[in-house]
Amino acid sequence: MKTCLLCTGMLFAASLTAQTATQPLLYDCKYTETPIRIDGRLDDAAWQAAPWTSDFIDIEGGALPKPRFRTRAKMLWDDRYLYIAAELEEPDVHGTLTERDSVIFHDDDFEVFVKPLPVTPNYYEFEMNALNTGWDLYLDKPYRLGGKADNSWDIAGLKTAVAVQGTLNKSDDKDRGWTLEIAYPLTAFESRQHVPIPVDGTTWRINFSRVEWKAGQPKEDNWVWSPQGVINMHVPEQWGYLHFHKP
């Protein structure tokens, strides 16, 4: 059985290599002396020092059509949190799911994939919609290698907020989109594995995904920061590099 899984992994990796034309992206995450106020508005002065990521592209790479709407993100950190902000252009902001740990990607959503110890197989996923409903889960390894999602894991101390630039769930007008902020506790992983608090020079793997549904379209669009090369976010080796910097 282990041999079969290894062969499957090798074949998948070969297929991925053949399809992927770009290397994983890199983000230099700056340290902030001032904690971010989590209200979804992105108007804290500290955010001005944080660069935006490049605009998200199709999950398979830049050779695919450009996404219909712009998505981008930025990050900061302090001694307690990794802060994540995102801006999602959307002419009709809507959401339906209100129960925590629902399958959030059944709505339009924003997703965070974090691998704080790059040499281990473990990683973490968080999804949220425009109603600020979240779903957090832990994986001991990728699904293709027999990994199983653990929905019992919760991000203790997580803070999230959404601000809608328009009117939520009102399709007879035109919205500009929605913005979000996340304060992801650096101690969130302790119930599954010990992760040292970052210092200057620490590197994690991270990626972001946006799921967008279009009326009359049976399948969702998947737009990401660092392209995966395949329609599968659970390929951590293709996630971007998150470099922590502290003066």
Q: Is the pLDDT of residue 14 over 70?
A: no
Residue 194 predicted with pLDDT over 50: yes
Kindly provide the b/e burial profile for residues 179-214, where b requires at least 16 CB atoms within 10 angstroms of the residue's own CB. bbbbbbebebbeeeeebeebeeebebbbbbbbbbbe
Average the pLDDT over 95-124 and give the result. Answer: 98
Query: Considering only CA atoms, which of 73, 76, 71, 81 is closest in space to residue 28?
Result: 76
pLDDT tens for each residue of 197-218: 999 999 999 999 999 999 888 8
Mean residue pLDDT of the chain comes to: 92
All structural domains of the chain, each given as residue ranges with its CATH number in brackets, are: 2-245 (2.60.40.1190)
Query: Residues 71-99: what's their mean pLDDT?
Result: 98
Average of pLDDT values for 17-30? Answer: 77
Amino acid at 173: D
Whether the predicted model's global pTM rises above the 0.85 cut: yes
Does 113 have pLDDT greater than 70?
Answer: yes
Predicted confidence (pLDDT) at residue 8 exceeds the cutoff of 60: no
Tell me what percent of the residues of the chain surpass a pLDDT of 90. Answer: 89
Average pLDDT of span 142-161: 97
